[in-house]
Every structure is written in C-alpha cells, then in structure tokens.
Structure 1
Amino acid sequence: MPNIHLTKQMEEYVDGQIKSGAFSNVSEVLRAGLRMMMEDDGAREFYRLKAELEEAAAEAERGDYVVFDPVAFEPRAFRK
C-alpha cells in the first residue's frame, strides 16, 4: 500500500481525533473515513435503485409495459 500524504489541515484534524481518544492511530481514522464513504456509496446506490423502481411502477400504472413471456425468454427451460 502506498504512503498517504495529507494536507496540513487534514493532519491537524487526524491528530485532534487521536488526541481526543476517539481513535488510536492514523490508520483507524482513515479506515473510519473510508467506511463512511463506502456507506454513502451504498446509500446512493439504494436511492438510485429506488428511483428506478418508482419510475418503473409509474410506467406500469400508465400501462406502458410489455407482458413478460417466460417461454420466449428462456425456451429451453420449458422443453419437455
């Protein structure tokens, strides 16, 4: 893993977090930040999916859909 270079302001913030006792070392602070970013990404993905589902539901309510034909989609699954 490469070395990480922080701005002076970031270093001061990290030092403050360690001095306050919230974290034991720089690695813990950075891991916590990465976890937060990962959670934010997950939340963004959830809301994107939610919006897509809401749009699909609205389309279906307007009658803008095609009836799914499983035999046409996967004919081998229905062979006898």
Structure 2
Amino acid sequence: MPNIHLTEPMRDYVDGQIRSGAYANLSEVVRAGIRLLMEKDGARQFYALKAELELAASEAEAGAFAAFDPQAFEPDAFKG
C-alpha cells in the first residue's frame, strides 16, 4: 500500500480524531474518508438520474414521446 502524504493541517486533524477516540489509527480515518467519497459519488449519480427522469417525465407530459411497441422491441418474446 502506498504511503499517504498529508498536509500539516490534515495531520493535526487526524491526530485529534485519534486522540479523541473517534478513530484508532490513520487507516480508520482514511477508510472513513473514502467511504464518504463513495457515498458522495453515489449521491451525485442518483441526483443526475433523478434530473434525467424528471426531464423525461416533463417531456412525456408535454406529448414529446413515441408509442412503445413491445413486439418490435422484443419480437422473440411473442413467438409462440
């Protein structure tokens, strides 16, 4: 695993977190930070999808849509 370079304010913050008992060591602090980044990325993706769905819904409500033909979309499903 690579070494982690922290600025002095970051080192002070991490040391304070460890001294307070919130985290046992630097690895725990780094893992917590990575988890937050992963959650933030997931939230960003969720809100982007939500915005796309809201736009699609408004366009559909305004009549900007094409009728869906399930048989043309999946013809094998209709073979009997």
Using the aligned pairs only, state the percent identity: 68
Matches for 1:1-80 after TM superposition, within 5 Å? 1-80=1-80
For 1:50, the aligned partner's letter is K
The number of residues matched between the two structures is 80
TM-score, length basis structure 1: 0.93
Taking the aligned partners of 1:2 and 1:24, their CA distance within structure 2 comes to: 20
Listed one character per residue, the Cα deviations across residues 2-61 of structure 1 (whole Å, up to 9, x for unaligned) are: 221112221111111101111100001011111111111111111111101100100001
Runs of 4+ deviating beyond 3 Å: none
Q: CA RMSD in A?
A: 0.9
For 1:74, the aligned partner's letter is E
Structure 1 gaps of 5+ residues are none
TM-score, length basis structure 2: 0.93
Structure 2 gaps of 5+ residues are none
Taking the aligned partners of 1:14 and 1:70, their CA distance within structure 2 comes to: 57
